[in-house]
Amino acid sequence: MAISLGFDSHIQAITAAATTAATATAKLGSSTGTAAPQSYSDKARKQSVDFEATFLNSMFEHMFTDIKGDGPLGSGPGVGVWRSFLTNEYAKSFAKSGGIGIAANVYKSLMAHQEAAAQAKAAASVPAM
């Protein structure tokens, strides 16, 4: 059952989900398998772009759902799988090229949360007089 919400409600829900997911991801610490450690800022930016790509992929999948007949992928039984690969790559490319602004807002939110956490930690470490 789908619930119809206004565009603003969707953006608020997406931003809240992205912030929660990215904060949880950032708490995991340094990533494994990389030669040089990344800064929190670099990780936050990458996670923000990845989140926007995931969101765009979902939107693109809905756009391509009702396309029937011969297209760039034909009309065979496996077209759904190939179309999902195509929409995923479209979304990644679109997000890396600047997207629709979701990544920038998520990044700002993540950095604000990180700054607030750092300030809280600094305040907690100051001995009381």
pTM of the shown model: 0.60
31 lies in some domain: no
Range of the domain at 47: 42-65+77-129
Domains identified in the chain, total number: 1
Place of tokens 């998520």: 106
The answer as to whether 11 is a domain residue is no
Tell me, yes or no, whether 49 lies in a domain: yes
Does any domain span residue 5? no
Give the pLDDT confidence of 57-82 residue by residue, as tens digits.
999 888 877 776 656 666 777 777 78
Asked whether residue 121 is assigned to any structural domain, the reply reads yes
> 120 in a domain, yes or no?
yes
Whether residue 23 is contained in a domain is answered as no
For residue 38, give Cα distances in angstroms to 61, 93, 99: 32, 22, 23
Please check whether residue 3 lies inside any domain of the structure.
no
* Confidence check: pLDDT of 123 > 70: yes
Query: Which amino acid, residue 60?
Result: F
